Structure 1
């Protein structure tokens, strides 16, 4: 039975010392954040771009398929390779762009649709239709593009003459930095430079803006930072090129967590300091286990918080997570999901305090058996983070294991390759 077919997965705990320590090497998938940025930028560049080290997952497949609908040829040329062949101009799609629950794809393509002369409809699954996009829609309207999202979430309809009519705008990025990244990447097309600033100086994960700017510069974009959260983008075309995608730092956090919790020795082949993704900063926190900091600010490593929160349930002292309000509008409400599922293992492990999350650990759970079914809310990060709990507490089953295909299709296979025993049910 494959993870996609299974209702649940049960891992054999490795915390008793009766089993050999987990060890080996894992080749992590490429960064989702970088892959979807580079796919779009390559589609906006005239010529052929070869992308290597790329992530092949549900999210990136939705992006590649949508670009194909917009007149770009995106070819799988290997397990981690794409070839993008484009004229540099996106053309209207007769059918809506269905993007599953890929937040990067729907947000990036919503802004890119402003450069399409015609009407573009973007939608997704039931989960995507609950994820906010109104601030990006409002920014596009300010730029002179007719964009509507009646529910303030997808589906979104963009009607454009082929570019931003107004070339200086501001965007509310308090819910997501992806709105900023989307507008920046789309801003190179036009008859004048494009100036973007962030309203109220409030932004989610600033590190992801740095990734966006690095990817844009790699394809020849001219960028001038005019303020702490303001940029001028030259109206010069992107240049096709070859690009290598670094491994996914969010995926790395699960392996770093398993190493810390079990004393395992799993090598991912890259040091945290060599990654440009914000979640790489999580290594400095995870490596302090079992003496995690009493307060952890998750604002700049949001996707790593489920990992660290599950790890914190087995640490030496309580941990309070702050700066994580944006986790409520991810693939699911991750604050509530983590709290609810930890409390299935033992009531009182987690508590929501406003938009903070307080973990009151119990290290004596390690090696015990507690019958608990972990609901994953169709959220890949909940499933992968709770694998750590299942490796130290017997009786824990993780439901819907196939949801990891969103960003890490080979997650369970990779864990098995380093000695994790599991059964799919």
Structure 2
């Protein structure tokens, strides 16, 4: 019988106060790492995130001939000849969705065959729409299951004139095609085939990062971009703090009526999840309906916070959450109902949270299955600030994007106790 670690947060009686600096943005760090690897010369990335996801990206780039030095905990120095080389073995990317999707497109520029693979969770995450778009653009890209592992046969040249992609399932597909498009031999158009796009704000992040590294991109219409064949140039680039990580601290502050200084003004966040700040500020009077399509990674935080709201909350447009590190809609439903039966229900892709402020102060016997999903672990730690008896499985999975999460809570005075559970 195997044993799995657990973490139990001791309820906090007073307001949380102190200063916590969120880590660098995972989304921006992995974009900047790739673009620096495609740029000739040396780029310095400051404020970067060092976590499982960015380690998988940086290790994969090293396998393809890029030199990446790490002089301190928040800096990458990337030196490249301006293109990627054939790796000696398959690229293992864990459960890093940005790394798998961005690199699947980027390795189309490699002169040779590249295999991209991941862990058991990544092998369940769809990538078929991206492969289809690459194939239609003349790139050999295959997967037996529509999920990793993926095989891409590059020719060292990108001759596509247009990529068409359905971005409804993931904006990462769109970002992947946009970033590689600057490496084309001629201008390339990237066009959406439908009206919907998951978290369009992340495409804006991609475009901003591309332009910082010298790309020229114009918007043809609301769903089409024209990318010039400029390639990329090395530069020094600052990465802002992670807005998704900040949501846990904003919510902890709201739950305890505390004050946590993040060292950065709310308006300085440009990432989509920063929109959650406005909703968190309304607690305990959160809106009756919250659309999750454009701030997907903030929904777990908001769903747990909603459990303590004055009135019920319905979260809508959550289809994308079902293909994240786990099915987050189901994981949130199951975790909330571990705390109290009937606390959450699912209707299609909507999550309904039956709010009850009286939850604060109760004791339960809840064992939260995180499915090795960092966001499930971090959001249910917030519930532990108010409810005793919440045990969180696999607490170290927070290393995917926020390795210092438990230390950050401890620095604010939160007490935690580790344990074990048989699995």
Aligned-partner SS, 1:361: coil
Counterpart check, 1:8 vs 2:2: no
**Segments ≥4 residues shifted beyond 4 Å:** none
- Which residue is equivalent to 1:308? 302
- Which residue is equivalent to 1:32? 26
Between 182-191 and 80-89, the greater mean CA deviation after superposition: 182-191
| Contact 2:159/2:185 (8 A) holds in 1 | no
Residue of structure 2 aligned with 1:170, choices 164, 169, 176: 164
1:211-230 matched pairs, under 5 angstroms: 211-230=205-224
Superposed CA deviations along residues 69-124 of structure 1, whole A, max 9, x for unmatched, are 11100111110000000001100012000000000000000000111111000000
1:351-366 matched pairs, under 5 angstroms: 351-366=345-360
- Which residue is equivalent to 1:266? 260
Superposed CA deviations along residues 307-353 of structure 1, whole A, max 9, x for unmatched, are 00000011001100011111000000000000011000001110000
* Pairs aligned (count): 417
| Contact 1:143/1:166 (8 A) holds in 2 | yes
Aligned-partner SS, 2:275: helix
Superposed CA deviations along residues 360-408 of structure 1, whole A, max 9, x for unmatched, are 1121110111111111110000000001111100111111100000000
- Which residue is equivalent to 1:372? 366
Aligned-partner SS, 1:105: helix
What is the alpha-carbon distance in structure 1 between the residues aligned to residue 4 and residue 135 of structure 2? 44
What is the alpha-carbon distance in structure 2 between the residues aligned to residue 293 and residue 191 of structure 1? 49
| Contact 1:6/1:424 (8 A) holds in 2 | no
- Which residue is equivalent to 2:88? 94
Q: CA deviation at 1:202?
A: 2.0
Aligned-partner SS, 1:231: strand
Q: CA deviation at 1:6?
A: 7.1
What is the alpha-carbon distance in structure 2 between the residues aligned to residue 411 and residue 335 of structure 1? 22
What is the alpha-carbon distance in structure 2 between the residues aligned to residue 39 and residue 188 of structure 1? 15
Between 35-44 and 232-241, the greater mean CA deviation after superposition: 232-241
- Which residue is equivalent to 1:414? 408
Counterpart check, 1:41 vs 2:35: yes
Q: CA deviation at 1:264?
A: 1.5
1:122-141 matched pairs, under 5 angstroms: 122-141=116-135
What is the alpha-carbon distance in structure 2 between the residues aligned to residue 169 and residue 23 of structure 1? 49
Q: CA deviation at 1:60?
A: 0.0
Aligned-partner SS, 1:220: coil
Aligned-partner SS, 2:193: strand
Counterpart check, 1:151 vs 2:145: yes
1:14-93 matched pairs, under 5 angstroms: 14-15=12-13, 20-93=14-87
What is the alpha-carbon distance in structure 1 between the residues aligned to residue 192 and residue 380 of structure 2? 35
| Contact 2:373/2:397 (8 A) holds in 1 | yes
| Contact 2:158/2:185 (8 A) holds in 1 | no
1:248-267 matched pairs, under 5 angstroms: 248-267=242-261
The RMSD of aligned alpha carbons is 1.0
What is the alpha-carbon distance in structure 2 between the residues aligned to residue 395 and residue 337 of structure 1? 18
Aligned-partner SS, 1:111: helix
Superposed CA deviations along residues 107-164 of structure 1, whole A, max 9, x for unmatched, are 0000001111110000000000000000000011011011001100000000021233
Q: CA deviation at 1:271?
A: 2.0
1:110-121 matched pairs, under 5 angstroms: 110-121=104-115
- Which residue is equivalent to 1:344? 338
1:219-298 matched pairs, under 5 angstroms: 219-298=213-292
What is the alpha-carbon distance in structure 1 between the residues aligned to residue 255 and residue 312 of structure 2? 16
| Contact 2:122/2:148 (8 A) holds in 1 | yes
What is the alpha-carbon distance in structure 2 between the residues aligned to residue 264 and residue 50 of structure 1? 36
- Which residue is equivalent to 1:328? 322
TM-score, length basis structure 2? 0.97
What is the alpha-carbon distance in structure 2 between the residues aligned to residue 200 and residue 36 of structure 1? 26
- Which residue is equivalent to 2:174? 180
Q: CA deviation at 1:165?
A: 2.5
Name structure 2 gaps, 5 residues minimum.
none
Superposed CA deviations along residues 156-177 of structure 1, whole A, max 9, x for unmatched, are 0000212333211211111100
TM-score, length basis structure 1? 0.97
